[in-house]
Amino acid sequence: MSALPLIAQTRRSRGMTQADLAQIIQVSIPTVRALERGEGSLRLMGRAMQALDLGWGWVRQGEDAAALLAARRREKGLTQAALAQRAGCSRPTIIALERNLSGSVSILLSVLAALELRRALRTLDIRGKGGLIPATNAPMRDLVMTPAPLAGAIIAHYTDRFDGRILDPARGQASPYCKC
């Protein structure tokens, strides 16, 4: 099975260097190179995948990747020992993969090949993902304006207490009180 070109492709498409990705996932540049070649630990691979919005190719969002590997093995009629022999690893390695997807990327790639799962990674659909960055909108939608009657009532109520400058969060061209 080939290395993992989707990691490098996605990284490049986002204008990131190997050094950028290494900094984000807090590893060395040689470690990023190894991940892109299909080497290294699955724990580090998970961090790189999260940073690049990638997911496992055989798993839909929200599903358990390890459990699906075990299900695929059973579907193929293989024991853990038989899969280990086909993948060139030990039975405890298969157990670790099926329990919590721990181990090395290279072994996982061998197991995927033995299970005839062609895609190791896929791009996640991040629409509606949520997070801290809001969806973009037209600049006019960002204008906030204190309605004139409300602003007038607030000013009238607090006039005797005002001292110094009044900071109006809606001041500017959109404000009815702007003398711009």
- Can you list the domains of the chain with their CATH numbers? 5-123 (1.10.260.40)
| Better pLDDT: 144 or 107 | 107
Cα separations in angstroms, 76 against 82, 98, 116: 11, 15, 9
Give the pLDDT confidence of 75-120 residue by residue, as tens digits.
999 999 999 999 999 999 999 999 999 999 999 999 999 999 988 8
Give the pLDDT confidence of 54-76 residue by residue, as tens digits.
999 998 878 899 999 999 999 99
